[in-house]
Chains A and B, each alone.
Chain A
């Protein structure tokens, strides 16, 4: 085990994670999520996050289909989809996604199709961005683990 490398990696990890928070990608809930990960469930966060991303893509697809036909937009369905998405994103701590969902819901309430489409696009963009970021994060984690170190517990307040 190369302590210098491990330390370097850990610092990198920490900085990256903090930057994600600072940039608003993640919020407190993600921290809570990380707390739930222990020896019994070592991949808990990764599982949840991947499930979330799958959920996102599915929902986005269905919502885009719903919003695709301008004359018969099923706002109810969109609403439920947005609701789901909002719930999921808030459960995971995807802050930006959640915020977009909030404005998405508002558009949906007023049945603003353009607004909805715009929000949908934004949601899509945001979740993909987040996905990339988190993948990088997980890679860093793997590197640390391979180098023999432990993932640092970081308190974000």
Chain B
């Protein structure tokens, strides 16, 4: 059996060949006989083993101290191996003992079969026990030695110390790390170790004979240790996979951290780029001067991107070439141009992105190649330019003219630097910003220019206005002065000529005086015209409205024109529309002026033919209010007057010129007839003042012409009774109530009629039939004496003289009125010469008598128009 066991051991040894030299020693020892082994060798082996173990333990302690887990592992492995070695050695030692008991051998066999599952504490324990047993069951070849005991005692003590120190170390280091998640595990483990240590410690007392209490304590400690160790073992089953997974998690986190680092690096670079762009933009946009903008751009770009060269090519005025305008570093030759149609330029202009171009392209060759064989990379980008002229932009912000400048950026040569994406982006952004800044600068330039222009215009306008004002003032002053200065002599001439006309003159003298009067009145009219026109243009002329008889007006005009027309043998006809109102409200004088002017022109410019004047009420005037109609209620109507002649006619082209003042048509006929050219202009202005319209139609030269004008007139409320405002409308004779009159008439019938007339008017009438009776009856009470002077003879007139003699004081004398059948001048003259105050034509109508009486009483003189 001993041989079999030895063979088995040899096999085991063979497996454990790598173990300590002690094992080798043992193997050699095995070769010797059992009996040769002496205690010294055993002692040596044992001491060596102990030393070895202590060495290992120290190493372990060192490792733990140095936080080197890896080494700790190794050491733990070594310790395990050491433990195995110890176990084997002990086994061998046991084997070397003669005839071990079956129990010993079985336990040793079991131990040897499972060296790895050995816990060195329990194992050593059991072995030591076993050794004790062996000590008990074998014949004491050597007695329980004091030395043996001493060694065991010491080792136990050290073990206990170790057992107590390990948890302390664990606690210390875990506290330090503060990350360990399984603290309660540590507690458990610590308890387990402490209890083991306690057991060993108690074991110290069991070497010698011990009391029962010690054995009890020992047993308790062992039991507890067993419990705790089992619990720890169970718990570790759960813990160890977690701990292992911690490792994998640690790896994962490391990877993640590395990734985040990378990303952070990226963001930082981007933020850096952004900062650069902002700074660049700020620099570029801080000025509105084009030159500064571009220079700043180049400088800042060069600085940010550390460029070797940066250049800007601007299109020339012709647009066919690009001219090198700005560079960063070098002085460029003037007029260095490049045609715009190069393919590389088209490529750059075709896209809004920065384009890498070849360093050898003409736009990049800014300096002579000076031996640098590796030129830096070149990037070009387009800069859109705004083309403004007078702010004419059709598509904004789409730039319709599409003019671009070219910005070329060169990296330093020989630097092996590449254009990064973020740098290209930076360049594009800068190019955009430059475009915006340039457009702003362009707009500013344009607006400054426009403002300067406006200021100039303003100044010029101001000067012109002041000149005009001065001119107007000068003219007004002149007119005011001339008006007064010219009118005074005119008045003198007219007044004196008319006075002269009333005196005794020979027919030739009378003719001359009449001519003088006519000319001077013409001159006066002309002066008035000029004044009127200037006042009309100023707008200071106002119509003098009054009520007048329209029909009478027309007849008067015709009467005035008739002499000339008769001389020229031009018949004039007047057609007044039946619905033409008789009494109207308007400016009589100016209306007459207009009609006179027009009709006068017609007469002037006709050599033959008839002139027709038509007056009617026109309803369809687009200026009239929509609900206007002619009623006798004081509203308005439009009077249309048409003057048609068959005279010289007017060229249709000349018609617009007619109404301009001082303009005359060139035909000989008109020139010979004279005229100042003011008439139509003034007429037009008067017509316009009357809210009307005037125009001339003509079919051509020699075909006559028609002058038509419309004016707005008011309709008078008054009935057909007279236009003298003083007389009331009703026929009651308020004025003449009780007026004492004397009627002298030889003819009974007419005497009666006259009396009836005067009675109807409210007078108190006394009638006489002869002059003697008249003289007898007449008294100062009679205000008026009507005497009939129809009968031939001078006696009737004599009575006037008698009455004059009778009443020396003028206020007592009654007014003397002659009633006569004929109204020629001689009768009038006679009456005047006899001192009569008035002449009346028989038969007298009621209105006539009334007018006459009131006139007479007011003015004390009457010479009725006949």
Write the nearest CB–CB distance from B233 to chain A, whole angstroms.
155
Is A38 in contact with B760, judged by CB distance below 8 angstroms?
yes
Q: Counting CB contacts under 8 A, is B832 at the interface?
A: no
Q: Counting CB contacts under 8 A, is B752 at the interface?
A: yes
Is A90 in contact with B756, judged by CB distance below 8 angstroms?
no
Is B791 in contact with A83, judged by CB distance below 8 angstroms?
yes
Apart from the given pairs A33-B756, A51-B748, A88-B750, 13 other A-B contacts in the complex at a CB distance below 8 Å:
A33-B753, A41-B756, A41-B759, A48-B756, A55-B747, A84-B746, A86-B821, A88-B749, A90-B842, A91-B749, A91-B753, A91-B843, A92-B753
Closest to A93 in B: B843
Q: Counting CB contacts under 8 A, is A80 at the interface?
A: yes
Complexed CA–CA distance, A111 and B748 (Å): 26
Is B750 in contact with A91, judged by CB distance below 8 angstroms?
yes
Write the nearest CB–CB distance from A38 to chain B, whole angstroms.
7
Complexed CA–CA distance, A45 and B790 (Å): 23
Interface string of B720-756 (1 = CB under 8 A from A): 0000000000000000000000000011111011101
Task: Specify which chain A residues have a CB less than 8 angstroms from the CB of B760 in the assembled complex.
Answer: 35-36, 38, 41
Task: Specify which chain A residues have a CB less than 8 angstroms from the CB of B746 in the assembled complex.
Answer: 84
Q: Counting CB contacts under 8 A, is A25 at the interface?
A: no
Complexed CA–CA distance, A92 and B752 (Å): 10
Write the nearest CB–CB distance from B538 to chain A, whole angstroms.
47
Complexed CA–CA distance, A87 and B749 (Å): 8
With A35-B760, A41-B756, A48-B753 given, is the CB distance from A88 to B747 under 8 Å?
A: yes
Complexed CA–CA distance, A103 and B760 (Å): 33
Residues of B at under 8 Å CB distance from A?
746-750, 752-754, 756-757, 759-760, 788, 790-792, 821, 842-843, 845-846
Task: Specify which chain B residues have a CB less than 8 angstroms from the CB of A55 in the assembled complex.
Answer: 747-749
Closest to B791 in A: A83
Complexed CA–CA distance, A55 and B747 (Å): 9
Sorted from nearest, which 3 A-B pairs have the closest CB atoms?
Answer: A88-B749, A91-B750, A91-B753
Closest to B757 in A: A36
Complexed CA–CA distance, A29 and B843 (Å): 7
Is B759 in contact with A32, judged by CB distance below 8 angstroms?
no
Q: Counting CB contacts under 8 A, is A70 at the interface?
A: no
Is B842 in contact with A91, judged by CB distance below 8 angstroms?
yes
Is B756 in contact with A87, judged by CB distance below 8 angstroms?
no
Interface string of A73-113 (1 = CB under 8 A from B): 00000001001101110111100000000000000000000
Task: Specify which chain B residues have a CB less than 8 angstroms from the CB of A93 in the assembled complex.
Answer: 843
Complexed CA–CA distance, A93 and B747 (Å): 15
Complexed CA–CA distance, A48 and B788 (Å): 18
Is B842 in contact with A32, judged by CB distance below 8 angstroms?
no
Q: Counting CB contacts under 8 A, is A127 at the interface?
A: no
Task: Specify which chain B residues have a CB less than 8 angstroms from the CB of A38 in the assembled complex.
Answer: 760
Is A91 in contact with B846, judged by CB distance below 8 angstroms?
no
Residues of A at under 8 Å CB distance from B?
28-29, 32-33, 35-36, 38, 40-41, 44, 47-48, 51-52, 55, 80, 83-84, 86-88, 90-93
Is A87 in contact with B747, judged by CB distance below 8 angstroms?
yes
Is A36 in contact with B846, judged by CB distance below 8 angstroms?
yes
Task: Specify which chain B residues have a CB less than 8 angstroms from the CB of A92 in the assembled complex.
Answer: 749, 753
A to B CB contacts below 8 Å, 29 in the list: A28-B845, A29-B843, A32-B757, A32-B843, A32-B846, A33-B753, A33-B756, A35-B760, A35-B846, A36-B756, A36-B846, A40-B759, A44-B756, A48-B749, A51-B748, A52-B749, A55-B747, A84-B746, A87-B747, A87-B750, A87-B788, A88-B748, A88-B750, A91-B749, A91-B754, A91-B843, A92-B749, A92-B753, A93-B843
Write the nearest CB–CB distance from B850 to chain A, whole angstroms.
11
Is B747 in contact with A91, judged by CB distance below 8 angstroms?
yes
Write the nearest CB–CB distance from A118 to chain B, whole angstroms.
24
Is A32 in contact with B821, judged by CB distance below 8 angstroms?
no
Complexed CA–CA distance, A33 and B749 (Å): 12
Is A80 in contact with B749, judged by CB distance below 8 angstroms?
no
With A36-B756, A36-B760, A41-B756 given, is the CB distance from A90 to B843 under 8 Å?
A: yes
Complexed CA–CA distance, A78 and B845 (Å): 29
Task: Specify which chain A residues have a CB less than 8 angstroms from the CB of B754 in the assembled complex.
Answer: 91
Write the nearest CB–CB distance from B174 to chain A, whole angstroms.
146
Complexed CA–CA distance, A33 and B845 (Å): 9
Write the nearest CB–CB distance from B380 to chain A, whole angstroms.
107
Is B791 in contact with A80, judged by CB distance below 8 angstroms?
yes
Complexed CA–CA distance, A87 and B792 (Å): 13
Closest to A155 in B: B720
Complexed CA–CA distance, A91 and B790 (Å): 13
Of B750, B757, B791, most buried by chain A (CB within 10 Å of CB) is: B750
Write the nearest CB–CB distance from A75 to chain B, whole angstroms.
13
Complexed CA–CA distance, A28 and B847 (Å): 13
Task: Specify which chain B residues have a CB less than 8 angstroms from the CB of A28 in the assembled complex.
Answer: 845
Complexed CA–CA distance, A32 and B759 (Å): 14
Task: Specify which chain A residues have a CB less than 8 angstroms from the CB of B843 in the assembled complex.
Answer: 29, 32, 90-91, 93
Complexed CA–CA distance, A128 and B821 (Å): 25
Of B749, B750, B791, B792, most buried by chain A (CB within 10 Å of CB) is: B749
Write the nearest CB–CB distance from A90 to chain B, whole angstroms.
6
Complexed CA–CA distance, A90 and B749 (Å): 9
Task: Specify which chain B residues have a CB less than 8 angstroms from the CB of A40 in the assembled complex.
Answer: 759
Is A87 in contact with B842, judged by CB distance below 8 angstroms?
yes
Write the nearest CB–CB distance from B771 to chain A, whole angstroms.
16
Task: Specify which chain B residues have a CB less than 8 angstroms from the CB of A51 in the assembled complex.
Answer: 748-749, 752
In-complex Cβ contact of A83 among B748, B756, B757, B790 (8 A): B790
Task: Specify which chain B residues have a CB less than 8 angstroms from the CB of A52 in the assembled complex.
Answer: 749
Task: Specify which chain B residues have a CB less than 8 angstroms from the CB of A88 in the assembled complex.
Answer: 747-750
Complexed CA–CA distance, A42 and B654 (Å): 69
Closest to B731 in A: A35
Complexed CA–CA distance, A55 and B754 (Å): 16
Complexed CA–CA distance, A52 and B747 (Å): 10
Complexed CA–CA distance, A136 and B527 (Å): 66
Task: Specify which chain A residues have a CB less than 8 angstroms from the CB of B752 in the assembled complex.
Answer: 47-48, 51, 91
Complexed CA–CA distance, A90 and B791 (Å): 14
Write the nearest CB–CB distance from B401 to chain A, whole angstroms.
87
Complexed CA–CA distance, A151 and B438 (Å): 105
Task: Specify which chain A residues have a CB less than 8 angstroms from the CB of B790 in the assembled complex.
Answer: 83, 87
Closest to A52 in B: B749
Complexed CA–CA distance, A41 and B748 (Å): 18
Complexed CA–CA distance, A41 and B747 (Å): 21
Task: Specify which chain A residues have a CB less than 8 angstroms from the CB of B759 in the assembled complex.
Answer: 36, 40-41
Write the nearest CB–CB distance from B732 to chain A, whole angstroms.
10
Write the nearest CB–CB distance from A6 to chain B, whole angstroms.
25
Write the nearest CB–CB distance from A78 to chain B, whole angstroms.
13
Write the nearest CB–CB distance from A54 to chain B, whole angstroms.
9
Closest to A89 in B: B749
Write the nearest CB–CB distance from B99 to chain A, whole angstroms.
191
Closest to B751 in A: A91
Task: Specify which chain B residues have a CB less than 8 angstroms from the CB of A90 in the assembled complex.
Answer: 750, 821, 842-843
Write the nearest CB–CB distance from A129 to chain B, whole angstroms.
18
With A41-B759, A83-B791 given, is the CB distance from A32 to B749 under 8 Å?
A: no
Complexed CA–CA distance, A126 and B754 (Å): 24
Complexed CA–CA distance, A29 and B841 (Å): 13
In-complex Cβ contact of A84 among B747, B756, B757 (8 A): B747
Task: Specify which chain B residues have a CB less than 8 angstroms from the CB of A48 in the assembled complex.
Answer: 749, 752-753, 756
Closest to B754 in A: A91
Complexed CA–CA distance, A81 and B842 (Å): 18
Task: Specify which chain A residues have a CB less than 8 angstroms from the CB of B757 in the assembled complex.
Answer: 32, 36
Complexed CA–CA distance, A96 and B754 (Å): 21
Write the nearest CB–CB distance from A39 to chain B, whole angstroms.
11
Task: Specify which chain B residues have a CB less than 8 angstroms from the CB of A33 in the assembled complex.
Answer: 753, 756
Task: Specify which chain A residues have a CB less than 8 angstroms from the CB of B846 in the assembled complex.
Answer: 32, 35-36
Complexed CA–CA distance, A32 and B760 (Å): 11
Closest to A33 in B: B753
Write the nearest CB–CB distance from B224 to chain A, whole angstroms.
160
Of A29, A36, A86, most buried by chain B (CB within 10 Å of CB) is: A36
Write the nearest CB–CB distance from A156 to chain B, whole angstroms.
13
Task: Specify which chain A residues have a CB less than 8 angstroms from the CB of B750 in the assembled complex.
Answer: 87-88, 90-91
Closest to B747 in A: A87
